[in-house]
């Protein structure tokens, strides 16, 4: 059985193949703004698969993906009612982003709980999984890239910068000053949110980071124990095994 796993997020839509045992090497992505019948059809024409698991936080693009992929082969779009190896301790489960549940499943399958998973994407999300295990909720904040883009778009003179480790805190150019503010400041945001979450969680907590900016930010945040770039797809793989 070959599964096509899809992570349809706000900026990129990522595709990956897996068999029943593990994730496979093949992976591709399309900018989410460019998802269409034509672009998805062209991509899948190059691969063979037996079933599809979709995780989406972009409803209008999910409809296109469903239209292209849901005919002729088993198809499951994950949601709070999907079979998963944890319960949900949250008043309105239908409001939980599918990607946040996928990350929680990945944590339960590969790490000890209680746990916090931080996903550095268009938004940065902090999600708490209890020891039981159960999804308990978390925090949503603006993503690092989104903050950088906002400064560029809303000011006349500030450029769009490439994110990297700043050489110093005292920037000696506009770019250096912005880089220090973005990276050093963002680490402060992450530390403060983690400290507040840890005050409300009993026991030894495992903290995992994933997403595009995870390695950069986690490098100087000692509370983060693991950086796992494949966590979301590991969760989708586990969900595919249980729902397809």
Cβ within 8 Å of residue 138, ≥6 positions away: 100, 116, 125, 126, 127, 128, 197
Cβ within 8 Å of residue 167, ≥6 positions away: 176
Pairing of β 226-227 and β 3-8 = unpaired
Q: Let me know if 165 is exposed, middle or buried by CB neighbors in 10 A (0-12, 13-18, 19+).
A: exposed
Listed residue (93, 19, 111, 4) closest to 55, CA to CA? 4
For residue 158, the model assigns a pLDDT of: 74
Neighbours of 175 (CB within 10 A): 15
Q: What domains are there in the chain, each with its CATH number?
A: 1-77 (3.30.420.40), 85-235 (3.30.420.40)
**Is residue 99 flagged as an active site residue?**
yes
- Residues of the chain short of pLDDT 70, as ranges, are 150, 157
For residue 157, the model assigns a pLDDT of: 66
For residue 161, the model assigns a pLDDT of: 79
DSSP 3-state of 125: strand
Length of the chain: 244
Output phi, psi for 45, to 5 deg.
Answer: -65, -15
Q: Which member of 7, 25, 50, 99 is catalytic?
A: 99
For residue 148, the model assigns a pLDDT of: 72
The HSE-up count of residue 179 (CA atoms within 13 Å, CB side) is 17
DSSP characters for 197-238?
HHTT--SPPEEEEEETTHHHHHTT-TT--EE-TTHHHHHHHH
């Amino acid at each position: 059985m070959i599964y096509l796993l899809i992570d349809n997020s706000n900026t990129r839509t990522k595709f990956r193949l897996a068999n029943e045992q593990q994730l496979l090497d093949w992976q591709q992505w399309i900018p989410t703004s460019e998802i269409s019948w034509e672009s998805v059809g062209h991509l899948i024409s190059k691969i063979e698969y037996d079933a599809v698991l979709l995780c989406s936080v972009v409803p209008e693009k999910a409809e296109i993906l469903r239209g292209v992929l849901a005919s002729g082969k088993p198809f499951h779009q994950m949601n709070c009612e999907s079979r998963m190896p944890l319960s949900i301790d949250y008043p309105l489960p239908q409001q939980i982003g599918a990607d946040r549940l996928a990350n929680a499943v990945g944590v339960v399958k590969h790490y000890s709980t209680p746990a916090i998973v931080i996903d550095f994407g268009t938004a940065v999300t902090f999600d708490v999984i209890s020891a039981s295990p159960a999804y308990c909720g978390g925090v949503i904040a603006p993503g690092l890239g989104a903050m950088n883009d906002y400064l560029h778009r809303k000011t006349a003179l500030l450029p769009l910068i490439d994110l990297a480790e700043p050489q110093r805190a005292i920037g000696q150019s506009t770019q250096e000053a912005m880089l220090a503010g973005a990276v050093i400041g963002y680490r402060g945001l992450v530390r403060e949110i983690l400290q507040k979450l840890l005050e409300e969680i009993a026991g030894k907590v495992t903290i995992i980071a994933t997403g595009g900016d995870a390695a950069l930010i986690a490098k100087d945040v000692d509370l983060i124990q693991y950086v796992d770039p494949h966590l979301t797809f590991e969760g989708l793989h586990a969900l595919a095994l249980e729902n397809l």
